[in-house]
């Protein structure tokens, strides 16, 4: 067969077989026992020509309601933010996207420097001393943070607030079974972690307390009040954050966090049905040699010139095998680059302005909603997402179906993950939403009730 | 020789901007009016202040200091650095794939769900498995997911099995994943043919064996000819067989893990299915299982109702739970699906045949100059040993660095661990005979240089932006960022 990705000609094939000293390609598979050979054609999707494939993919894509055609008020961990135009141009440089992990530093200085800069951005934003080159996403980073805390403290009890993203807690529970960790969940009052219950849950077996701010309901947790409770028992404080909120919110490092993790999706990464995004992972200096994943360090070459290398590799699976701090190998490097380009583009003032826009637009929307027959059940401060209580008996699935008809992607049905919050909608309002869209969404929402 | 490249932080000049945000068309409230001051920053984060041209030139310059498959031959063993098709990049950027939310109503993402459903079935067919989860984000993530499934399976039968067996040639992620899944690793030595030593395996298995993890073909590029016996030994002990799919590029349409006796398999879509490595990720590591393990799969998988509608199927009562937020690295799954559809089943079989032909051709031509410890037929990759050159003071690392001067990305070196001065070469099917020949000639020249002028090799590279870097100091006195150092 001829194929545009395959250079083999009949002549080359014959010459190569002759060099090897066999008659046919089939002979190169003589080591595979006949009893396990597959004969016939696999029952898989058929091949398509390039134009037919483009058409097929376009048809599949067009059956999805996308953010270009619908105004999204859905958040819950994935947000519709403006993605600066330059990002796609840089991520499309194939020197970046077709490269492997930078194992050969002499020809990988571009990627290595980009990761070093990513680590620097994350440290600056989170107020931490050391950041790695990325994790799969924010949710798996949370589970890795629990593993790190258990290893660092030699304790097995993990206390996690129920205001942490429900899927992140599910992954944590899955991981905990493998690692033999005990996971204790702490409830919430008025939408934020119940500090009394938290204090009662922390004991001298507690490896870490895991909190998220803004939390799953969009509300800010009082990290400054939580910090002394955790450190009194010598556990670690793990804080999951929305990196965009750190344009205006105090960095967790300043507030005493030992580990700061999160998902960089708000930093210029497409929603893409939730992935690929990019988890980030930052720690205090004391935990530097316990951090999972790749780390880039600055050094010099044999002529004294500045350069960058993968470093502290004695923690990693390819060196330590079963004694590694984590099994992570592939990470999300290209999306870390994406986040770096975003932070370079927004820069010092842009990160503040973007965060302020999110805060202002969401507060405008929340204020407007509270004026009508909707109510805001929680009083704690929020960033760009908030909870609305709908009238009793509202069926949120059919409400969202109606909103979709009207051109809006509606909010998240909190009853799905919190039975006690049935009839509550989680609404996200990013800088992308115009006043007209917000007003229109609220009008439509009220009309549907 | 290019000078040192400034960091983006070092290019900052107060007052410059590279962004254009939407206008504020709502009341401009101050953050301090709605957030208590102790939760607000007192000063902005010290991020760079640059303009758009700076951003473009900075990252363009960084890209020029990097080497990808589009720059040249990249025979990195066990990494399957094949061509990353451009159509895959284009389609993944369609708004209907890139700008959709995981929590949208299922009715509003039927195209995405159809793609995932079809991909699940295609990968199940390719591997000979009964169901596939697309959630795992990478190969190691798939390994851990698979081992958690195996753990749940044994526990459901009231058995506590604590040990995972791996050969000494296995990827480092195998034992690391076993540890994270709560198992103890038992490493068994390979025999002198590079195969699993059946006697060692028989001695290792028992009532505590949870699984054997095997890469087949192995990291030595060899097909485990005794796989049927291996499966029998493990199954008779009550253990399961885990297939590390890193080397699947050798056997597509030729032999399926499911037919070899494997119970759980992961595939690295960023290897076999051509999705780009991205400088380290993102990848995707879907996991396939035989029917008896389906109840334990991570939630949800994609189902198809009788009326043809696709839906998230969370009806897996014994599920190990979630392993990844949302539904996996969807953007990568889109690319992998597009790749499968450029070839179809017949094309994928041809891909594997040519990957194996290329590897055998290279091994035969290089064996006279570098020792080939396993000189029979190889599969998609092969190992050489550079130990002959040690007599001249030249190590495999030096050979790799010298290859940089010829414009190649070097092969994988010093892995697997059981081959001295190992050089592991995987050409892939997308490289032409001319490319292979030129690389072979470079390798032969370097072997000659090692004999006649070893210093030339030992001091390489000469043409790169930086010379060999001081990795020892980097680890002893770590400088890991430019702001808080």
Single residue among B297, B319, B342 that ends a domain in this structure: B342
Residue B466 lies in a domain: no
Both B413 and B388 in one domain: the answer is: yes
Q: Is the pLDDT of residue A392 over 70?
A: yes
Whether the model clears a pTM of 0.95, i.e. scores above it, the answer is yes
Looking at every residue in chain A, the average pLDDT score rounds to: 97
Residues of B in contact with A47 (CB under 8 A): 341-344, 346-347
Q: Do A42 and B125 touch (CB under 8 A)?
A: yes
Q: Which of A30, A97, A178 sits opposite B148 (nearest CB)?
A: A178
Q: Choosing among A306, A334, A347, A356, which should be mutated to test the B contact, i.e. which has the most B CBs within 10 A?
A: A347
B249 and B376 together in one domain: no
Whole-number Å distance between alpha carbons of A259 and A261:
7
3-class SS of residue A375: strand
Confidence of residue A322 (pLDDT cuts 50, 70, 90): confident
Predicted local distance difference test score (pLDDT) of residue B485: 35
Query: Nearest-CA residue of chain A relative to B404?
Result: A107
* Contact check, Cβ <8 Å, B63/A130: no
Spans of all domains in chain A: 71-82+347-448, 86-341
Q: Which residues of A touch B39 (CB under 8 A)?
A: 220, 222-224, 249-250, 381
Helix, strand, or coil here: A276? Answer: coil
Domain membership of residue B470 (yes or no) is: no
Q: Which of B342, B374, B395 corresponds to the end of one domain? A: B342
Does residue B302 lie in a domain region? Answer: yes
Residue B181 belongs to some domain of the structure: yes
Mark which of B312, B342, B372 sits at the end of a domain.
Answer: B342
Interface check for A2 against chain B (CB to CB < 8 A): the answer is no
Query: What pLDDT was estimated at residue A325?
Result: 79
Q: What is the pLDDT of residue B337?
A: 98
User: In terms of DSSP H, where are the helices of A127-259?
Assistant: 138-153, 166-179, 195-201, 223-231
Count other Cβ atoms within 10 Å, centred on residue A150: 21
Residue A329 and residue B140 in contact, taking contact as beta carbons nearer than 8 Å: yes
- pLDDT of res. B3: 64
Exposure string over B275-292, b if 16+ CB within 10 A, otherwise e: bbbbbbbbbbbbbbbbee
Cis peptide before B282 (omega within 30 of 0): yes
> What per-residue confidence (pLDDT) applies to B67?
98
In whole angstroms, give the CA distance from residue A97 to residue A92: 7
Are B324 and B265 within one domain? yes
Looking at this predicted complex, what is its ipTM?
A: 0.98
Q: Please, what sign has the CA dihedral across residues B318, B324, B326, B328? A: negative
Mean pLDDT of A206-214: 98
Instruction: Pull the structure tokens for residue A244.
Output: 């965009």
pLDDT band at B413 (very low <50, low <70, confident <90, very high): very high
Please classify residue B442 by burial: count the beta carbons closer than 10 Å to its beta carbon, then call 0-12 exposed, 13-18 middle and 19+ buried.
Answer: middle
Q: Are residues B224 and B359 in the same domain?
A: no
User: Distance of CA A402 to CAs A188, A391, A406, A448, Å?
Assistant: 31, 16, 7, 7
Residue recorded with tokens 């004999």 = B451
* Closest CB from B85, B177, B321 relative to A327: B177
Residue B468: inside a domain, yes or no? no
- Residue B387 confidence (pLDDT) above 70: yes
Q: Are residues B324 and B301 in the same domain?
A: yes
Q: Total structural domains in chain B?
A: 3
A251-273 pLDDT per residue, tens: 999 999 999 999 999 999 999 99
B297 CA: distance to closest CA in chain A (Å) = 12
Classify the C-alpha dihedral A393-A396-A398-A402 as positive or negative: positive
Backbone angles phi and psi of A129, in degrees to 5: -90, -30
The 3-class secondary structure across chain B, one letter per residue, is: CCCCCCCHHHHCCCCCCCCCCCCCCCCCCCHHHCCCHHHECCCCCCCCCCCHHHHHHHHHHHHHCECCCCCCCCCECCCCCCCCCHHHHHHHCCHHHHCCCCCCCHHHEHHHHHHHHHHHHHHHHHHCCCEEECCCCCHHHHHHHHHHHHHHHHHHCCCCCCEEEEECCCCCHHHHHHHHCCCEEEEECECCCCCECHHHHHHHCCCCEEEEEEECCCCCCCCCCCHHHHHHHHHHCCCEEEEEECCHHHCCCCECHHHHCCCEEEECCCCCCCCCCCCCCCCCCCEEECHHHHHHCCCCEEEECCCCCEEEECCCCCCCCCCCCCCCCHHHHHHHHHHHHHHHHHHHHHHHHHHHHHHHHHHHHHCCCCECCCCCCCCCCEEEECHHHHHHCCCHHHHHHHHHHCCCCCCEECCCCCCCCEEEECCCCCCCHHHHHHHHHHHHHHHHHHHHCHHHHHCCCCCCCCCCECHHHHHHCCCCCCCCC
CATH number for the domain harbouring residue B448: 3.90.1150.10
Same domain, residue pair B245 and B390: no
Report pLDDT for B2. Answer: 55
Which of A11-50 are b and which e, b meaning 16 or more Cβ less than 10 Å from the residue's Cβ?
Answer: ebbeebbeebebeebeebbeebbeebebeeebebbebbee
Q: How far apart are CA A365 and CA A351, in angstroms?
A: 21
The candidate with the shortest Cα–Cα distance to A274, out of A396, A378, A370, A412, is A412
The runs of H, that is alpha helices, within A24-108 are: 50-62, 85-91, 94-97
Asked, for residue B477, whether it belongs to a domain, the answer is no
Q: Which residue does chain A place closest to B138, by CA atoms?
A: A330
Mean pLDDT of A380-402: 97
User: What fold is seen in the domain A86-341?
Assistant: 3.40.640
Answer yes or no: do A329 and B27 touch at CB < 8 A.
no
Q: pLDDT tens-digit profile of B194-210?
A: 999 999 999 999 999 99
Q: Taking a C-beta distance cutoff of 8 angstroms, is the pair A135, A261 a contact?
A: yes
∠ CA(A97), CA(B81), CA(A281), 5° rounding? 50
Mean pLDDT, residues A376-396 taken together: 97
Q: Does A384 touch chain B (CB under 8 A)?
A: no
Direct distance between the N- and C-terminal alpha carbons of chain B, in angstroms, rounded to an integer = 28
| Closest alpha carbon within chain A to B80 | A100
CA distance A418 to chain B (A): 15
**Residue corresponding to tokens 């580990």:** A259
Q: Is the peptide bond before A214 cis (omega within 30 degrees of 0)?
A: yes
* A440 and chain B in contact, CB less than 8 A: no
Q: How many CB atoms are closer than 10 A to CB B207?
A: 11
Q: Is B13 buried (19+), middle (13-18) or exposed (0-12) by CB count in 10 A?
A: exposed
> A292 contacts in B (CB within 8 Å)?
none
What per-residue confidence (pLDDT) applies to A320? 84
Q: Is the pLDDT of residue A134 over 50?
A: yes
Which residues of chain B from 352 to 391 reach within 8 Å of chain A, CB to CB? 353-354, 356-358, 360-361, 364-365, 376-377
Domain that holds residue B182: 87-342
Same domain? For B328 and B376 the reply is: no
Q: In chain B, positions 126-185, which contact chain A (CB-CB < 8 Å)?
A: 126, 128, 137-141, 143-144, 147-148, 151, 171-173, 175-182, 185
User: How confident is the model over B90-111, as a mean pLDDT?
Assistant: 98
In angstroms, the Cα distances linking A18 to A21, A25, A70, B357, B367 are 5, 11, 60, 11, 16
Which pLDDT value is given to residue B6? Answer: 96
Summarised one tens digit per residue, pLDDT across range B422-476 is 999 999 999 999 999 999 999 999 999 999 999 999 999 999 999 999 999 999 9
Answer whether residue B2 is part of any domain: no
The answer to whether residue A176 scores a pLDDT higher than 50 is yes
Crossing angle between the packed helical segments A109-126 and B52-64, to the nearest 10 degrees:
130
Mean pLDDT on B49-64: 98
Written as six digits, the tokens of A230 are 């955790």
* Class in CATH terms, A71-82+347-448: alpha beta
Are B37 and B179 in a shared domain? no
Indicate whether B484 pLDDT > 80: no
Over residues A392-399, mean pLDDT: 95
Q: What is the mean pLDDT of chain B?
A: 96
Mark which residues 86-105 of A lie under 8 Å from B by CB.
Answer: 86, 88-90, 92-105
- What's the whole-number mean pLDDT along residues A222-244? 98
Arithmetic mean of pLDDT, A209-214: 98
For the beta carbon of residue B206, count every other beta carbon within 10 angstroms.
13
Residue B473 inside a domain? The answer is no
Q: Find the helix packing angle between B173-180 and A166-179, rounded to 10°.
A: 100
Whether A145 contacts chain B with CB within 8 A = no
| Mean of pLDDT values over B321-348 | 97
Chains A, B: CB contacts under 8 A, how many? 725
**Is residue B11 over pLDDT 80?**
yes
What residues 35-74 of chain A have any CB closer than 8 A to a CB of chain B? 35-38, 41-48, 50, 53-54, 56-69, 72, 74
Check B19 against A350: CB less than 8 A apart: yes
């Amino acid at each position: 067969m001829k194929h545009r990705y395959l250079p083999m000609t009949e002549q080359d094939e014959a010459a190569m077989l002759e060099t090897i000293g066999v008659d046919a390609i089939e002979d190169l598979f003589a080591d595979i026992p006949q009893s396990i050979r597959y004969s016939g054609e696999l029952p898989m999707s058929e091949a398509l020509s390039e134009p037919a494939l483009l058409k097929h993919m376009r048809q599949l894509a067009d059956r999805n309601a996308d953010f270009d055609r619908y105004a999204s008020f859905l958040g819950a961990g994935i947000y519709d933010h403006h993605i600066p135009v330059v990002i796609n141009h840089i991520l499309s440089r194939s020197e970046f996207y077709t490269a492997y992990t930078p194992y050969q530093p002499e020809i990988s200085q571009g990627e290595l420097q980009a990761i070093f800069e990513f680590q620097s951005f994350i440290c600056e934003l989170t107020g931490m001393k050391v950041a790695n080159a990325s994790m799969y996403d924010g949710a798996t980073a949370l589970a890795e943070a629990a593993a790190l805390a258990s290893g660092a403290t030699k304790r097995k009890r993990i206390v996690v607030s129920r205001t942490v993203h429900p899927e992140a807690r599910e992954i944590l529970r899955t991981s905990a079974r493998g690692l033999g960790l005990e996971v204790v969940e702490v409830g919430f009052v008025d939408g934020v972690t119940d500090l009394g219950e938290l204090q009662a849950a922390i004991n001298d077996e507690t490896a870490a307390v895991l909190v998220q701010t803004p939390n799953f309901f969009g509300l800010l947790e009082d990290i400054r009040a939580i910090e002394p409770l955790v450190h009194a028992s010598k556990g670690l404080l793990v804080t999951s954050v929305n990196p965009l909120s750190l344009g205006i919110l105090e960095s967790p490092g300043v507030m005493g966090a030992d580990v700061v993790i999160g998902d960089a999706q708000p930093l210029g990464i497409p929603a893409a049905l939730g992935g690929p995004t990019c988890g980030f992972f930052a720690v205090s200096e004391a935990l530097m040699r316990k951090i999972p994943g790749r780390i880039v360090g600055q050094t010099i070459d044999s002529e004294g010139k500045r350069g960058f290398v993968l470093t502290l590799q004695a923690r990693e699976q390819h060196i330590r095998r079963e004694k590694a701090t984590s099994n992570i190998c592939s990470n999300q490097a290209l999306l870390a680059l994406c986040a770096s380009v975003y932070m370079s583009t927004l820069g010092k003032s842009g990160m503040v302005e973007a965060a302020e826009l999110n805060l202002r637009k969401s507060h405008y929307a929340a204020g407007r909603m509270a004026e009508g027959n909707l109510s805001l059940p929680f009083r704690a401060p929020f960033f760009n997402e908030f909870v609305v209580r709908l009238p009793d008996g509202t069926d949120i699935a059919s409400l969202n179906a109606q909103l979709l008809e009207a051109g809006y992607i509606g909010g998240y049905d909190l009853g799905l993950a919190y039975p006690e919050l049935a009839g509550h909608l989680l609404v996200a309002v990013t800088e992308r939403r115009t006043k007209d869209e917000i007003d229109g969404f609220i009008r439509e929402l009220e009309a549907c009730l | 020789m290019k000078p040192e490249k400034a960091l983006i932080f070092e290019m900052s000049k107060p007052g410059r901007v590279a962004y254009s945000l939407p206008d504020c068309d709502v009341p401009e409230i101050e953050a301090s009016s709605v957030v208590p001051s102790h939760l607000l920053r007192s000063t902005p984060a010290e991020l760079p202040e640059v303009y758009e041209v700076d951003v473009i030139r900075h990252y363009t310059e960084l890209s020029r200091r990097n080497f990808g498959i589009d720059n040249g031959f990249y025979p990195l063993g066990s990494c399957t650095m094949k061509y990353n098709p451009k159509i895959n990049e284009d389609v993944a950027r369609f708004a209907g794939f890139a700008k959709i939310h995981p929590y949208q109503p299922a009715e509003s993402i039927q195209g995405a769900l159809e793609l995932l459903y079809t991909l699940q079935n295609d990968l199940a067919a390719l591997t000979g498995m009964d169901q596939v989860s697309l959630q795992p984000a990478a190969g190691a993530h798939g390994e851990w997911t698979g081992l958690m499934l195996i753990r749940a399976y044994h526990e459901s039968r009231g058995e506590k099995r604590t040990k995972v067996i791996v050969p000494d040639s296995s990827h480092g992620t195998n034992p690391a994943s076993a540890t994270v899944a709560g198992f103890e690793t038992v490493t068994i030595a390979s025999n002198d043919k590079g195969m699993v030593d059946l006697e060692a395996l028989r001695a290792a298995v028992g009532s505590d064996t949870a699984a054997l993890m095997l890469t087949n073909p192995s990291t030595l590029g060899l097909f485990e000819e005794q796989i049927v016996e291996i499966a029998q030994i493990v199954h008779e002990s009550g253990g399961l067989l885990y297939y590390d799919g890193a080397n699947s590029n050798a056997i597509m349409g030729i032999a399926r893990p499911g037919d070899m006796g494997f119970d759980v398999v992961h595939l690295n879509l960023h290897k076999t299915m051509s999705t780009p490595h991205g400088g380290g990720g993102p990848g995707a590591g879907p996991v396939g299982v035989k029917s008896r393990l389906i109840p334990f799969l991570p939630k949800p998988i994609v189902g198809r109702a009788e009326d043809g509608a696709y839906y998230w199927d969370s009806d897996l009562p014994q599920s190990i739970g979630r392993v990844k937020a949302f539904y996996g690295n969807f953007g990568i799954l889109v690319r992998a699906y597009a790749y499968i559809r450029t070839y179809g089943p017949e094309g994928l079989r041809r891909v594997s045949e040519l990957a194996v032909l290329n590897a055998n051709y290279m091994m035969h031509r290089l064996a006279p100059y570098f020792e080939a410890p396993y000189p029979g037929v190889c599969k998609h990759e092969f190992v050489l040993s550079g130990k002959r050159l040690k007599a001249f003071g030249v190590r495999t690392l030096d050979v790799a660095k010298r290859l940089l001067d010829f414009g190649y990305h070097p092969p994988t070196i010093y892995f697997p661990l059981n081959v001295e001065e190992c050089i592991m070469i995987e050409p892939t099917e997308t490289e032409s005979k001319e490319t292979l020949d030129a690389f072979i000639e470079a390798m032969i020249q370097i072997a000659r240089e090692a004999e006649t002028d070893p210093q030339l090799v030992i001091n390489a590279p000469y043409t790169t932006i930086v010379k060999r870097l001081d990795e020892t100091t980097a680890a002893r006195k770590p400088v890991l960022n430019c702001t808080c150092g």
